[in-house]
Amino acid sequence: MHYKVAFIGFGTVGQGLAELLQEKASLLKQKYNLECSVVAISDIQKGSVFQEEGLDLNKILPLAKEGKSLESYSAGQKGWDSLKTIAESNADIIVEATYSNFDTGEPALSHFRKALELGKSVITTNKGPIALAYPELINLAQKKGGSLRFEGTVMSGTPTLSLATEALAGAEINSIEGILNGTTNYILTNMEAGRSYNEVLKEAQELGYAEADPTADVEGWDALGKIVILANVLMGANLKVSGCNRVGITALTQNDIEKAKQEGKRWKLIASARKIDEEIEAGVAPQKLSLDDTLAGISGVTNAVKLTTDTLGQVTMVGPGAGRKETGFSLLSDLLAIHRLRK
């Protein structure tokens, strides 16, 4: 099967996928009979280019990496905006990798709607539209015959959604607990080793784990977006980020952490969702775990999610939660899932 792909947004994650498509082209063909052409890229900063027969990634990727305009590429149609690229290119799969906006979901939400309306498939790492409008979007996809996959919205390439919806098909998920933000877990791990919050935050920023403005991580917004996605997709909830409890790690003191240590416990920022009567509640808050809890053993930037099921009890998956290649891989795994479930 041959797929034609258009990238909307071509930053780190989009480039990560493009690199994997190059590196793994022969594996994908031999092992999975999957071939792929990138027919268009539209990026608000890097410009836009469309070439019906497929762009030459050996020429386009260096332009993106060197910060040059994609419009200096030697062939193809230039200057289309994102919506025109979705509608008028011959792509059948849209890779939406613009920034996440949890208030309006835009501009990504309009990209999703346009693509799905046209019966195209969307694969994405963009948390905003999924957290805000999953039921609407999955209905639209089903009605128009496209697919919507978004593995990378939760634990980058660690296949949480695929585990739960495919590998664990037939099991009912009654609750979810996870360490879904690597930055805060890195900070807590290092504070337990005796260092101060400010010192570790600064180091995390230098290492590229934390943003210059760390609010989304340390106040729990990022983890909350992810648990809302998990609750809505895996437990059939219809939650909004704005309606959930959220406590970050900024109120935790060195003293709290020491005290937990003396009790044989450990603070972790836990995102959780559970059924209470027939309602589903989700939220984020620091929790003091005993050391024999699997989640207590997750250190540094690693993420983990623990699913409590009816037939299997607890199943936990541990893996990376961020990274260029890792998140690029989540998109490749979405593409392979579409291919696997269609052929």
Q: Which of 4, 226, 268, 306 does the annotation list as catalytic?
A: 226
In whole angstroms, what is the distance from residue 58 CA to residue 56 CA? Answer: 5
Q: Minimum distance from CB of 72 to its own copies (Å)?
A: 30
Among 193, 212, 278, 313, binds its own copies (CB under 8 A): 313
Site string for its own copies, 157-186 (x = CB under 8 A): xxx--xx--xxxxxxx--------------
In angstroms, give the least distance from the CB of 163 to its own copies.
Answer: 5
Strands 121-124 and 93-96: parallel
The nearer residue to its own copies, 207 or 312, going by C-beta atoms, is 312
- Tell me: does residue 292 bind its own copies (CB under 8 A): yes
User: What would the x/- binding string for its own copies be over residues 25 to 44, using CB under 8 A?
Assistant: --xx---x------------
State the Cα torsion 15-19-22-25 to the nearest 10°: -100
Pairing of strands 93-96, 2-8: parallel
Choices 37-45, 48-56, 173-181, 334-342; region in contact with its own copies by CB under 8 A = 334-342
CA-CA distance, 315 to 163, in Å (whole number)?
A: 10
Between CA 339 and CA 149 the distance in angstroms is 12
Q: Tell me how far, at minimum, the Cβ of 107 lies from its own copies, in Å.
A: 29
Interaction of residue 326 with its own copies, rule CB under 8 A: yes
Nearest distance, CB of residue 48 and its own copies, angstroms: 28
Residue 308, interface with its own copies (CB under 8 A)?
Answer: no
Distance in Å, CB of 329 to its own copies, minimum: 4
Please enumerate, as own/partner, the contacts of 101-110 that have beta carbons within 8 Å and a separation of 24 or more.
101/128, 102/127, 102/128, 102/131, 102/132, 102/221, 102/225, 102/241, 104/128, 104/132, 105/129, 105/131, 105/132, 105/133, 107/82, 108/8, 109/133, 110/83
Nearer to its own copies, 172 or 258 (CB): 172
Active site residue 226: yes
End-to-end Cα, the chain, rounded Å: 8
| 64 scored as a contact of its own copies (CB under 8 A) | no
- Give the residue numbers annotated as catalytic, written as ranges: 226
